Amino acid sequence: MTKKSQNQEKVDNRKVKCPYCEEMLLRREAIRHTNGRYYHNNCYEEATKDSREYAELIETVCRIFGMKKPNGQILRQLKLYREDPELNCTNKGMELTLRYYYDLLGNKPRDGDGVGIIPLNYHKAKEQYVKQMDINKSFENINKSKKKEVYVTPSKKRVRKQFDINSL
């Protein structure tokens, strides 16, 4: 074995700490993120899911409020709602709440309010989207159900006697 391959083997056998679950794992079994951190397979999926959902939330905020990037007030509000155990808001939930309130209900954003409507409408939006998902599932079940073939036998035509009108 060459010295280079021995060094590589030592590096691969090192333990690294997953930043998502904070457990140790072998470096060769880990997935390397672009930020240089090493994750378990499942943790990597969850971590990137969180970051994707956060990016979608920020994109929705910018679209609704007509800004290039959210201001400090909005970022503080989003962080507060995400970390508040009573609200238990997720990034995706907050995004859907904003879409529900502004896009679906047609409300207009007011200057200086930020995203203060989220705690007030979070559960209403959740109910709306759960109903919508149930409706979509019921349509899927209808489409998946077996089609029934029905055969109709043609009816026999009744033969009517013809009358001569002149004879009457």
Instruction: Tell me the per-residue pLDDT of 121-155, one tens digit each, with 9 for 90 and over.
Output: 999 999 999 999 988 888 777 766 666 777 777 77
Please say whether the dihedral angle defined by the alpha carbons of residues 24, 28, 34 and 40, taken in this order, is positive or negative.
negative
Question: What is the rounded distance in angstroms from the CA atom of residue 95 to the CA atom of residue 151?
Answer: 51
pLDDT at residue 104 greater than cutoff 90: yes
The C-alpha atoms of residue 3 and residue 130 are separated, in whole angstroms, by 59
Question: Do 130 and 93 touch, CB atoms closer than 8 A?
Answer: no
**Is the model's pLDDT at 2 over the cut of 70?**
no
Q: Confirm if 74 and 57 have CB atoms less than 8 A apart.
A: no
pLDDT band for position 78 (50/70/90)? very high
Burial of 100 (0-12, 13-18, 19+ CB in 10 A): buried
